[in-house]
Structure 1
Amino acid sequence: MEVDVVVVGGGAMGSAAAWQLSRRGRSVVLLEQFEQGHHIGASHGATRNFNMAYAEADYLDLVTEAKDLWDELAGESGRQFLDLVGLVNHGNAGQLKAVRSAHAERGIESHFMTASEAANRWQGMNFRGDVLVVPGSGRVRAAEALAALREAAEAHGARFEYSTPVRDIRVAGDHRAVVVTDSAEITARRVVVTAGAWTSKLLGNLVRLPRLVVTQEQPAHFTPLDDSLAWPSFNHNPDPDDPRDDYWYSPVYGMLTPGEGIKAGWHGVGPVTDPDARSFTPEPVQLDALVRYVREWLPGVDPASAVPISCTYTSTANEDFVLDRFGPIVVGAGFSGHGFKFTPAVGRVLADLADGGAAPARFTARR
């Protein structure tokens, strides 16, 4: 079989790349090693934060584009994917001022509230210092978006094959590679690898990537005490000058997941793991610390109601994404922890790379 592009990995980024490529008229086959809707990687779950609180120009460019593309996907599918309930950012005042300054330069709406003003508006939360509110942020309906990306890609002619592990990728020139599965060999002009926690295992020494660390993360859902309370999405950074935050493992993120509760979690500090040998069992000390955080900062939920979730992060040392091409191999990796909001824009960048274009310099593996 011969096609223009094989996409390896059917999570959010691979599905978005297939959508972007197929709508350009490319013949696309996507291969996913697990069944559709599996919970073994990083793209499952009902919601993710949609957060525009970045100070870096590259990320602001990408998230602004992503917002427009989420709306385009909504137009194609007839479904809504962004719930712009607002997002509050608090803690570390210096970081928040840098974000607000970057927003002001670009005309992105955001503003500061005092802690008392924020607590009066969002009575399920506690605040210590000034709060940066981004009204045009909120959450992404992640599970619905994943299904819609597949449907949109298939509507443009892409083919998705689940339960189809890739056993080998053989490079046969700058514009030719062969992808080997248990039942077929597929020749393609480009192979887009978006394999999440399996990226390094799959590619081996085929391309030179920055070190990708796979961790098992354990956010949890907590039951609200009052269903009438309004909940924004949130990011909370520890205050480096306040010893009361010394027990924190990292910044905390969270949002309402309708029907499941308030999701809260540490960011990228779970135990390093082999994605094929995960325990799926919460690390008890980190979970206890998360429950303590919820008890102190989220008075609108029951801290004893924690239902842990297990997922993987695949992270670079500086948390920047990897978006690059090596001959016929295009790689998208290192998204975990803050990538999902960018999904359709990342799909566009991966499609550009497959078509011979370039990614922003920040995201290239060889910078």
Structure 2
Amino acid sequence: MADQHRTFDLAVVGGGAVGLSCAWRAARAGLSVVLLEQDEFFGDRASSAGVERQWRFQYSDEEMTRLVLAAVPLWRELEEAAGRRLIHTTGSLWFGEVAESTNEGHISDAAKVLERLDLPFEWVTAAEIERRFGFRDLPGHYEGFYQPGGGVIDVKGTLFALYCQARAAGADLRERQRVTGLAVTGDGVRLSTGAGTLTAGRLVVAGGAYSGELLRSWGVEFKVEIYEMATAYFQVRDPSVDYPTWFAFQKPAETDSNLFYGFGQSPWGPRGTIRVAPDFEVDPLHSPREADGTPRAADLRRTADWVRRHMPGLDPEPLRPSTCLIALPADPGRDFYLGTVPEGTAGAGRVVVCAAGWMFKFAPLFGQICVDLAVDGATSHDISRLTFGR
């Protein structure tokens, strides 16, 4: 079988943003690296789907904002290496029920974090949000803040940049190679795919929603809920209107969380349209392989109704509907899983996991942290709230 006698220093499972970042950072450090992606690179069947992600500094927990700050120089390094801008600054607007706790956080707590870290923001009322940012008919008590450093990440540009840098550094990047088996050996980990087997001294699992398929076979506790999240674009009918990235915090509805978010016009997105999406965690999947790319009709109707009522600059008919597959920690107090697998489980000391949660903005940093953990068993960054033992 192919590669049965080949041993790599590091194997990475998952060719999304974090996996590619890990491969780049490891190969650049001189390690022999193989990355295995079950589908095609740059595809839309997993967590790195679509063309844009929100870039923001605000989190309700200070540790998370500090991690965003730590990611900034690595993003700049990637942009310089790629010769293109990947984060476009548009500002970030959070508004709505300021005391409402949601899966995205809490407006008041996030503002306090920004204040403690001396990051600029401006508090705004509902009337100011309507006047400055083009929204309409917001409840009068809605408030929030505008953080000028927020923006939008070019997803495909980032994935391509990471892929090119990893290959240039010597990483062996393989697509359409689904890992079907893992086994601990005397000197590392053996991985089985449809193309054969290979071994590596260390392993990083960055397979997003598919990570659980591998980890549970080793007895690693990986409690997540898997969703196929809907999204759509809306035609701009008033060219004078553009938006920062934004998130609307609202009280839950009877059928869903009643949370919505969106973007402005992206130069790499569908021309003349703006993306708006619901953040509804409903109808979890039993397996990521159940996903079929079809958004729930109810989610699109709810989003179109929100656009109709509050965004007069857009035509409320949803265009180009699609989904993004995401695994989210079942524990609402956990943002991600990031760390070495626990002692007492197969692969302890040899396997690092980075999966579950909206982590694209952290990709260059988390890739480096995965390398630190795989090689040194430790990292200088505070990830204590993300590890398996918390």
- Band of TM-score, shorter chain: over 0.9
Does the CA contact (< 8 Å) of 2:242 and 2:264 recur in 1? no
After superposition, the C-alpha distances for 1:77-112 in whole angstroms (9 at most, x for unaligned) are: 111001110010001213322212111111111111
- Partner AA of 1:30 in structure 2: L
TM alignment of 1:135-214, pairs within 5 A:
135-173=148-186, 176-214=188-226
1:247 Cα offset (Å): 6.3
**Could you tell me how far apart the structure 2 residues matched to 1:79 and 1:309 are?**
27
What is the CA RMSD across the aligned residues, in angstroms? 1.9
Amino acid at match of 2:250: P
What amino acid is the match of 1:106? L
Report the residue type matching 1:100 in the other structure.
A
Quick one: structure 1 residues 286 and 268, their matched pair in 2 at CA, closer, same or farther if it must change by over 3 Å? closer
| Percent identity (aligned) | 29
Q: CA deviation at 1:248?
A: 5.2
TM-superposed deviation, 1:156: 1.5
Aligned residues: 360
Q: Does 1:235 align with 2:243?
A: no
- 3-state SS, counterpart of residue 320 of structure 2: strand
CA distance in 2, matches of 1:59, 1:127: 29
Cα distance, 1:119 vs structure 2 = 1.9
User: Residue 79 of structure 1 corresponds to which residue in structure 2?
Assistant: 84
Contact 2:133-2:242 within 8 A present in 1 as well: yes
Measure how far apart 1:278 and its partner are: 2.2
Does 2:335 correspond to 1:320? yes
Match of 2:232 in 1: 220
Give the gaps of 5 or more residues in structure 2.
Answer: 1-5, 100-105, 342-347
2:355 to 330, 333, 344: 333
Deviations 1:122-153 (A, max 9, x none): 22566442230010011100110011011111
User: Given that residues 282 and 310 in structure 1 are in contact (C-alpha distance below 8 angstroms), is that contact kept between their aligned partners in structure 2?
Assistant: yes
The secondary structure found in structure 2 opposite 1:93 is coil
After superposition, what is the alpha-carbon deviation per residue over 1:150-207, rounded to whole angstroms, capped at 9, x for unaligned? 111122211111111112111125x611111222322111110111121111222314
Q: 2:307 aligns with which of 285, 294, 307?
A: 294
The change in CA–CA distance for 1:110 and 1:82 in structure 2 (over 3 A counts) is same
Structure 2 counterpart of 1:90, one-letter code: F
TM-score when normalising by structure 2: 0.87
Post-superposition shift, 1:115? 2.2
1:19-98 to structure 2, matched below 5 A, reads 19-94=24-99, 95-98=106-109
- Show structure 1 runs of 4+ deviating over 6 A: none
Contact 1:82 1:138 survives alignment (8 Å): yes
Say whether 1:357 aligns with 2:378.
Answer: yes
For 1:270 and 1:239, how far apart are their aligned partners in 2?
16
Distance 1:169 1:57, change over 3 A: same
Unpaired runs of 5+ residues, structure 1, are none
